[in-house]
Amino acid sequence: MRKDTVAIERLAYGGSGFGRINGKACFVPFTAPGDVVTVRIRRETGSYAEAELSELLEISPLRVTPPCPHFGRCGGCHWQHLGYQDQVAAKEEIYAQALWRLARVERELLLPPLPAHEPWGYRSRIQLKVDSGWGELLIGFFAPGSHCVVDLPGGCAVAHPSLNRALERLRPVVAEFPHREHLPQIDLAVGDDGATVLTLHYRGEEPQRAVEFWRSREKQLAPLAGAFLRRDRKGAVTKIFGEGMLTYALSPPTVDGVGEELRLGFTAGSFSQVNYRQNRLLVQTALEWGKLSGGERVLDLCCGNGNFSIPFARQVREVIGLETGEGSVADARRNAALYALKHLRFELRDAVAGLHRFIAAGEQFDLVLLDPPRSGAVEMAKLIGSVGAAKIIYVSCDPQTLGRDLAILQKGGYRVAGSRVVEMFPQTYHMESITLLERV
């Protein structure tokens, strides 16, 4: 296999270090700006190459010792070999370049990132792969670029401590499970009060026997708040024991300053943000940028459990939320009922279909909230202008699809008024962001 020498210039979206071989772009995982390395080329196209690190010839001054013994083998983290402030600076640069390249958003419009208060032990949800095909039980994450499970004895450095404690209790029970070859994945989620829920992904033909086995181990799994079994990725979950509702707080300054703590719930298997503290900053930023007067009509697309809808509904005339996940809509309605928000409505409906319906009915909104999946919101971006919104607040977890969609929205009569990274995922290249657009 061919070897080359590469000087790493910067970090790229995707987590790799970027350098050049005879002028051709080369991407090398687990490198840092300032490294000089020898690499083995793994894949090459006409315009770039992907390589693996072979040897460090010159060590970057940015390098630190990764605290996790699994880093480099486990595919969960990408940047533990960098200090946290350097990670944030790299994300700021990657974000700025993506928005300029894809949507010509000037750097002057980008606010400084909001770094995480705690870059370790922050994740409230983890999806662990299970492999026992060779007799040895492995529970962890896939290795980079493969489906080989890297076992995580001692837990995950970025997972909430409650999740690591739950994983420790789970291991011997999984080892005893007679059908563990039909158990490809285990999900763990924790509320901000430490309550933890387990979801087992079961692919066998005897789900009732599986439920009975895990129910018989409830005491062994204590203090898990609940356990559930899921037969397919989007199907309903079957209760094994306990409760499936987890909660997190949006502190009073995030909501309306009146002193009442606002708590939202979500059920096992439904979406929630993985970093509660940073989620508070995200919602607070959205409320501040909305500059709400109390008379607005708000449309929340991809609303989830009401993470934005509910705090906004306490300050505006009306909110309508659209969501395709049945569990999330049920969570959102339950959260709204808890706070008696009668001017808030949630619909189980695709966002694009909902926009078409509102446009056909001539309905207008003052503000649109948009928090799509990683794939972005191309069709939504083409339609939003037709519901008359003076402002759009776009929350994104992918700067590439965000830039593409911002270009569409700008052509549709909006301008970017401000944007920033909200650092939701320390030790990884992933980033959350929020962008305010105003009608020209």
Whole-number pLDDT of residue 1: 62
- Are residues 199 and 326 located together in one domain of the fold? no
The answer on 218 and 107 residing in a single domain is no
Q: Are 50 and 173 in the same domain? A: no
Q: Domain for residue 263, yes or no?
A: no
- 37 occurs within a structural domain: yes
CA 379, distance to chain mean position in Å, is: 22
Q: Residues 22, 141: one domain? A: no
Q: Are 98 and 142 members of one domain?
A: no
User: In the numeric block, which tokens belong to residue 390?
Assistant: 């003076």
80 found inside a domain: no
253 part of a folded domain: no
Listed in sequence order, the residues at least 6 apart from 369 whose beta carbon sits closer than 8 Å to its beta carbon are 286, 298, 299, 300, 301, 303, 308, 309, 312, 392, 393, 395
Query: Are 386 and 350 part of one and the same domain?
Result: yes
| CATH number of residue 132's parent domain | 2.40.50.1070
Q: In what helix (H) or strand (E) does residue 261 lie, and over which residues does it extend?
A: none
CA distance 156 to 143: 14
302 conformational bin, left if phi > 0, alpha if psi -120 to 50, beta if neither: left
Residues 154 and 189 in one domain: yes
pLDDT in tens, the chain (440 residues): 678 999 999 999 999 999 999 999 999 999 999 999 999 999 999 999 999 999 999 999 999 999 999 999 999 999 999 999 999 999 999 999 999 999 999 999 999 999 999 999 999 999 999 998 777 899 999 999 899 999 999 999 999 999 999 999 999 999 999 999 999 999 999 999 999 999 999 999 999 999 999 999 999 999 999 999 998 766 678 999 998 899 999 865 444 445 567 999 999 778 899 999 999 999 999 999 999 999 999 999 999 999 999 999 999 999 999 999 999 999 999 999 999 998 999 999 999 999 999 999 999 999 999 999 999 999 999 999 999 999 999 999 999 999 999 999 999 999 999 999 999 999 999 999 999 999 99
The answer to whether residue 70 sits within a structural domain is no
Catalytic residue flag (residue 302)? no
Q: How many domains does the chain have?
A: 3
For residue 271, what is the DSSP state?
-
- Prediction pTM value: 0.93
Q: Is residue 12 part of a domain?
A: yes
Q: Which residue range is the domain that position 144 belongs to?
A: 125-243
Tell me, yes or no, whether 284 and 236 share the same domain.
Answer: no
Residue 73 in any domain: the answer is no
Please report, for the domain that includes residue 24, its CATH number. 2.40.50.140
Q: Is the separation of the CB atoms in 87 and 79 below 8 Å?
A: yes
Whole-number pLDDT of residue 254: 43
Give the residue from 226, 243, 260 where a domain finishes.
Answer: 243
- Specify the DSSP class assigned to residue 412: T
Q: Same domain for 152 and 20? A: no
Token duo for residue 170? 């789970």
Q: Which of 26, 77, 303, 397 is catalytic?
A: 397
Bridge partner list, 230: 201, 237
Verify that 331 and 422 share a domain, yes or no. Answer: yes
Question: Is the same domain home to 290 and 376?
Answer: yes
Domain presence at residue 282: yes
Give the model's pLDDT for residue 269: 77
| Alpha-carbon gap, residue 157 to 167, rounded angstroms | 13
Query: Do 374 and 295 belong to one domain?
Result: yes
**Does the N-terminal peptide bond of residue 112 adopt cis geometry, omega within 30 degrees of 0?**
no
**CATH code of residue 99:** 3.40.50.150
DSSP 385-397: GGGT-SEEEEEES
